[in-house]
Amino acid sequence: MTLNEIPIIYQDHHLLVVNKPAGLVIHPTYKNADGTMWDVLLVYLAEQGKDDWQPPVLPDEPQWAGAPEHIQVMLREKRVEQQWKEDGLLPRPCLLHRLDKDTSGVVALARSEQILVPHLRFQGMLRQRMMYHAICPSLYCQMMILF
């Protein structure tokens, strides 16, 4: 499996969206230890290396004005550290959802906590439900799908 077989739909600092073809396993399992979409994407991202994202330089908070200079420096460093934690790249991308091996479709991966954390909160609020659409030539098949 190569990256050419997994079209990238969208990529930025925070998000990677790909079009998974049918027949491809998303992540390694005991049945499919390698040759997965996950393996291909990890190699692709490693070859890309780090992006050039930097946290924005923000003005000092007004309440810092009366603090000694060394305290202001420490507060600036802590804020930048927090920005890197929230917006910097995760050590590895995180799958936001999965598709079955025989299902094709869009798969999204979070590359930063800015995408991952709200997604996890939202996911916790919803009960996940899978819905499949099928074309059935007979009434018997249609009735079986309802149950």
Catalytic residues: 100
Q: What is the DSSP letter of 61?
A: P
What are 106's two structure tokens?
Answer: 């869009």
What are 66's two structure tokens?
Answer: 């009366």
Give the rounded distance of the alpha carbon of 77 from its chain centre: 27
Task: Give the burial class of 129: count Cβ atoms within 10 A of its Cβ; 0-12 exposed, 13-18 middle, 19 or more buried.
Answer: exposed
Dihedral of CA 109/43/80/77: which sign?
Answer: positive
Return the C-alpha torsion angle 122, 28, 101, 1, nearest 10.
Answer: 120
Whole-angstrom distance, CA of residue 81 vs CA of residue 87: 10
Whole-angstrom distance, CA of residue 38 vs CA of residue 36: 5
